[in-house]
Amino acid sequence: MKGLITFSTPYLLFIYLLCILFTTETEAGSRNGDGVYVVYMGSASSAANAYRAQILINTMFKRRANDLVHTYKHGFTGFAARLTAEEAKAIAKKPGVISVFPDPNFQLHTTHSWDFLKYQTSVKIDSGPPSTASDGSYDSIVGILDTGIWPESESFNDKDMGPIPSRWKGTCMEAKDFKSTNCNRKIIGARYYKNPDDDSEYYTTRDVIGHGSHTSSTIAGSAVENASYYGVASGTAKGGSPNARIAMYKVCNPGGCTGSSILAAFDDAIADGVDVLSLSLGAPAYARIDLNTDPIAIGAFHAVEQGILVICSAGNDGPDGGTVTNTAPWIMTVAANTIDRDFESDVVLGGNKVIKGEGIHFANASKSPVYPLIHGKSAKNADASEGEARACEFGSLDQDKVKGKIVLCENVGGSSYASAARDEVKSKGGIGCVFVDDRTRAVASAYGAFPTTVIDSMEAAEIFSYLNSTKDPVATILPTATVEKFTPAPAVAYFSSRGPSSLTRSILKPDITAPGVAILAAWTGNDSAISLEGKPAAQYNVISGTSMAAPHVTAVASLIKSQHPTWSPSAIRSAIMTTATQTNNDKGLITTETGAAATPYDSGAGELSSTASMQPGLVYETTETDYLNFLCYYGYNVTTIKAISKALPVNFTCPADSNLDLISTINYPSIGISGFKGTGNKTVTRTVTNVGGDGVAEYTVSVETPPGITIKVTPEKLQFTKDGEKLTYQVIVSATASPKQDVFGALTWSNAKYKVRSPIVISSESSRTN
């Protein structure tokens, strides 16, 4: 089994664990040794590419049509098919074939938010998206590659929406449980993709997991009052871009998300006419997929060529460095942070000592400490090790010692989870679980009707002291209480994947961070796994992950597109990045889960601002030539690049001195300099476009310089005479010695109205790290 595409929440942790099985093997096929391969042949605008692809398809599959899985013809050329390894090798040698690779299986990135974003930018508003929402003159169309959608959710009602935009060319595919009438003026498109290894029951756009409904409603859900998860996180559920139209491309099923389906969805979305594409999925960090065999990077490149911004989650493999995924420079990559809402479930010890905890549960335990309390180590069975019992691992506890007690469990080895400890305690007759884990303490998970809470090691020290000094220790776990205006927030979530990018250190990734912890949004209407016994099925769910963060950025991008329909994908990305915030609601710097100040490897340019991004003042436009030069610098030859790109300039050639260090020179909103040894100077150039709307405008630069580094910007002032004017400046970096570790700074162009900030990362390491 190849790797699964990642959902971003602890709720779907079991899917994530399956991703450990990610390999480069092909899927099992109908003929022994066969597998599904993707054959990528570059731009669809090339008649030669299209002709060669059709000849291959006609020659190979005339008598074996069932082996042809997908064909690609709108945004790019190629196909996916069942092939033997020998056939795949032979096709790879054919003229016009850029790459042939086994069909990978990716993972989903899952482990109140709009109000918090508005508060962070000092805009007072009750709920929902920024007050600058589209007036309907251009309703953006958001394509979402995910698990499908639950159309009956109130979040997808189309009340008061105007007609479907005439430019829409997509369709609403029917299935046994999904009719054309399930689409409306909100859900305007619905497609699913057949995976030959899937059960036919998944041949429908209906969401059977919940993830796609959650991400869709976060982006573009209609306002639903009194939404909650059984009373938790109660309020008005509303997407960030409620006027946007949704086109769902179901590429994921319980078995994962195949790369061949993802490419088919990109190909269809390009032809259908979407404005923005959102993907909350990707390969696991250790997969290290190269650009020409990465379906997301390939599909995104061709989408961006057609003017479609592609936004992807960064992955849930944090907090280790170098784990960020979806890092191609034409993709906008999103990390996850907390918001100013906490779900508190406290532990009360004998003597009414209160220990603060985190968790969502719906138990009816006594509010007084009347239940016996025991440490997992003291309740171990004869066959378990001490470490297993401390973590309350499966089968480690003695039923006679646990029955009727609250059990204190610990994440001893760093690989245990509160949900697993809860299950073990519950199975042995325990009545509550207190789980010690510094990592997950700030990320509330739902535990159903069984009393469960998570505390950190400092809080646990008080419980251990109590256990060791009391003959008959007792405790209780209080019901979940929602704490609003929680401080400090935001903080980067522990699970959020971190930079630097394994693709290149010269492009800072992630690009931005956004709310991704304990986000309430729509769910399937029949999920017994998250529903309480004797209660109606949950219509909304609270989950976490970079899967939840990417939709927040997608919503804001959709709003910007509605206000500025002619803006390029890179202009929208720049507007979001350069207006990001770096401070929390305590007026301190954004931190990580440890309390340390976040670096750009944790949070990119900072946290998304849902209001300032609508009027950025200046934008950095990364042109198609920039991306083509990136391919040159990365090592691709002109022949390959000509096959990939739809509109290569006639006289385009790779720079004679192309090398990885030159990646720093593409016109990106952040600045990454790698291989800097401290001798001589390093100079990079950037160009900004005036979009402030005032015509004449002057900006002055200020620089945040890291210790041991000198940064000079020339000129120090930019004087614009009209809107749309472009001006160029240079950044010259020098030092007296090679930096011993990566260092961080920033430069900001500002005037009385705008602040346009770019983070700077300087590293002595080489550009490419994998």
For the annotated catalytic residues, the residue numbers are 146, 211, 547
Q: Which residues of 6-42 are buried (b: 16+ CB within 10 A; e: fewer)?
A: bbbbbbbbebbebbeebeeebbebeeeebbbbbbbbb
Round to whole Å and give the CA distance between 241 and 444: 26
Tokens of 724: 């749309």
Round to whole Å and give the CA distance between 109 and 4: 10
Q: How many CB atoms lie within 10 A of CB 631?
A: 21
The DSSP letter of residue 722 is S
Identify whether the C-beta of residue 437 lies closer than 8 Å to the C-beta of residue 418.
yes
Closest CA to 454 of 355, 377, 370, 364: 355
Q: φ, ψ for residue 768 (rounded to 5)?
A: -105, 125
Non-local CB neighbours of 177 within 8 Å, separated by 6+ positions? 204, 206
Tokens of 53: 């692809």
Round to whole Å and give the CA distance between 212 and 191: 13
Round to whole Å and give the CA distance between 73 and 59: 17
Round to whole Å and give the CA distance between 235 and 229: 10
Identify whether the C-beta of residue 506 lies closer than 8 Å to the C-beta of residue 660.
yes
The DSSP letter of residue 169 is -
Identify whether the C-beta of residue 14 lies closer than 8 Å to the C-beta of residue 114.
no
Question: Three-state DSSP class for 41?
Answer: strand
Residue type at position 572: I
Q: Which run of H or of E encompasses 43?
A: strand 35-43
Closest CA to 111 of 437, 580, 479, 575: 437
Q: Which run of H or of E encompasses 759?
A: strand 755-762
Round to whole Å and give the CA distance between 350 and 84: 67
Round to whole Å and give the CA distance between 436 and 377: 13
Residue type at position 269: A
Identify whether the C-beta of residue 373 lies closer than 8 Å to the C-beta of residue 405.
yes
Burial of residue 253 (CB within 10 Å: 0-12, 13-18, 19+) is buried
Residue type at position 702: S
Closest CA to 440 of 376, 495, 487: 495
Closest CA to 142 of 555, 512, 521: 555
The DSSP letter of residue 706 is P
Long-range contacts of 563-568 (CB under 8 A, 24+ apart): 563/132, 563/134, 563/138, 563/614, 564/691, 565/138, 567/619, 567/691, 568/307, 568/621
Tokens of 368: 């007084």
Round to whole Å and give the CA distance between 99 and 103: 12
Round to whole Å and give the CA distance between 500 and 496: 13
Question: Three-state DSSP class for 150?
Answer: coil
Q: Scanning the structure block, which residue is given the tokens 């949950």?
A: 538
Round to whole Å and give the CA distance between 631 and 622: 14
